Structure 1
Amino acid sequence: MKKVFGVLIVALLFVGCKQKITSADVVKINGYWEIEKVVFEDGKEKQYGMNESFDYFQIDKNNVGIRKKVMPQLDGTFLVNDTFENVKLRFDDDQTFLDYSTPYMKWSEEILALTDKELIVLNAEKKEYHYKKAGPINLDDYGKKAK
């Protein structure tokens, strides 16, 4: 009985600690995000070192925007192409979702955490994607700030 009670308390702590994302948090999504790791449903993790591409989000005050894959260059710029996904932010009870659409497919990811430096999303396959906020890489001019 004590074990059941202990498990119940731990479960309530996890539920009670979930971040509530508000419409004021939307501006935190905008910008460049680099994937750090993926946590699978069974708890195993895949760590990412240096990434060849970042996710770029631009969502407006109406909670509508795009997500693009961009490739950072050594001079601080990004290579981009014309491919993007339409994205809409959806608030549903205490959950927040990113609803994606292309001419070929539609899918959603739940936002589990969002700060100025961290984004965690959960997809339909129960994979958690952990992102960190990224900026341009600049190895030119001995570390001077990129434009």
Structure 2
Amino acid sequence: MKKVLSVLIAVFLLTACKQKIQPTDIAKINGYWEIEKVIFKDGNAKKYGVNEAFDYFKIDKNNSGIRKKVMPQLDGTFLVNDTFENVKIRFADDQTFLDYSTPYMKWSEEVLTLNDKELVVLNSEKKEYHYKKTGPIKLDDYGKKTK
């Protein structure tokens, strides 16, 4: 009985602590995001060290925009191509979704966390993608990262 009660309390705390994304929070998604880790359905995690590509989001006031893969260069620039996904923000039943579309496919991800430094999304395969906010990489002549 104690174990059942403990599990119920833990589940309640986890669901009660879930962040509610407000429409005013959506502007925080704009910019460059670097993936830190993926947590799989079974609880295993894959951590990422250095990433060759970042996700760049640009969402307008109408809650629509694009997501694009960009490759940071050491001089602070990005290599980009013409490939992107259309994104629309959707609010439903206290949940927030990123609805993606390309000419070939449509899919959605639930936004679990969104703030100035962190983005966590859950896809249909129950994989959690954890991102951290990032920006251009610019190294000076001595190999030190500049501000």
Question: TM (normalized to structure 1)?
Answer: 0.96
Give SS of 1:110's match.
strand
Between the aligned partners of 1:7 and 1:24, the Cα distance in structure 2 is: 34
- Counterparts of 2:38 and 2:4, CA distance in 1: 30
Distance 1:72 1:9 in 2: 44
Distance in 1 (alpha carbons) for counterparts of 2:83 and 2:25? 26
1:140: how far off? 2.8
| Aligned counterpart, 1:133 | 133
Give the unaligned 5+ runs of structure 2. none
- Report if aligned partners of 1:74, 1:140 keep a CA contact under 8 Å in 2: no
Q: How does 1:59-74 map to 2 (within 5 A)?
A: 59-74=59-74
Displaced runs of 4+ in structure 1, greater than 6 A? Answer: none
Identity %: 77
Count residues in correspondence. 145
CA deviations on 1:104-144 (whole Å, 9 max, x unpaired) are 00000000001100000000000000000011111134544
Q: Which residue in the other structure is 1:12 paired with?
A: 12
Letter in 1 for 2:30: N
Alpha-carbon distance between aligned partners in 2 of 1:141 and 1:17, rounded to the nearest angstrom: 46
In 2: Cα distance, 1:72 partner to 1:83 partner: 16
1:1-147 matches, cutoff 5 A: 1-142=1-142, 143-145=145-147
Provide TM-score, normalisation by structure 2.
0.96
Over the aligned positions, Cα root-mean-square deviation in angstroms equals 0.9
